[in-house]
Amino acid sequence: MTVRVAVVGAGGQVGAALVRALAGHAVLAWTRADFDLEDFRRGCDLIRASRPQIVILCAALVDVQRAERESDLAFRVNAIAPAIIARASREISARFVYISTDYVFDGDGGAPYDEWATTRPLSVYGRSKRAGEVETLSAHPESLVVRTSSVFGGPGRNFVNAIRQVALSGRNPRVVADEVSSPTYADDLANAISALLAATLGGVFHLTNEGECSRYELARAAIELSGIAANVDPITTAQFRRENPDSAPRPRHSALANLRARAVGVTLPPWRDALTRHLCTPAS
């Protein structure tokens, strides 16, 4: 059945992937020019006028360093706006999807976090996203909250593309080797979200590609699979923070376990397979 889906933040890597994944539906692809989270009341008017059956909020303030500097803005964009948009969606009986992050965890557990693990964010960004989860579910209890991690995909800004650009410039990237997460390909994430929507599921779900690796391992894989003649120089988190004392705190081990998704038959391929497909995409 074709449904009317509004993708807020369609210009970003996850939003663009969702527009592709939902191509069989009537998709309203709203970019920042159409729907700015800093003017969320205008955005809510757009929702009421367009009356989508599903609203997927991909837009957010994701710059971790900027969030530290502008905490009020981070909470306004990542928590207050989503709650108001969720409420507007509920008013028109539309389902609502909020994209969240592994940064809601402190990374001290030493093992992948499942959906029931205690949240303890370290940074302003993580706290603002956790607040967004709580406020969204309060405003629209049937919302789908999707936590994901280390997203890459498309030609835009992401860790994988940044590492490749450094290597292509003739420099060896220096990358932290003791921070571990679950890399996620935007196209695989979008397909998994589409599957959860088709099953009319709500609540908190973790969606990442299978497996985990350090940022250093991900950087090495990206360069090797790209065929670039460059090395990656590993550094520690402690060394990085000495060199960048104003850097926001990040979780050391924030890999996610997709237990709820797996229980309903929604799985994502291994991260290295996903990375290979990303690097084989012409626009990457």
Active site residues: 125
What is the rounded distance in angstroms from the CA atom of residue 276 to the CA atom of residue 8? 28
- Report the 3 state secondary structure along 174-229: EEECCCEECCEEHHHHHHHHHHHHHCCCCEEEECCCECCEEHHHHHHHHHHHHCCC
Burial group, residue 253, by CB count within 10 angstroms (0-12, 13-18, 19+): buried
What is the rounded distance in angstroms from the CA atom of residue 165 to the CA atom of residue 183? 19
The answer to whether residues 64 and 250 touch, using CB atoms and an 8 Å cutoff, is: yes
The answer to whether residues 136 and 143 touch, using CB atoms and an 8 Å cutoff, is: yes
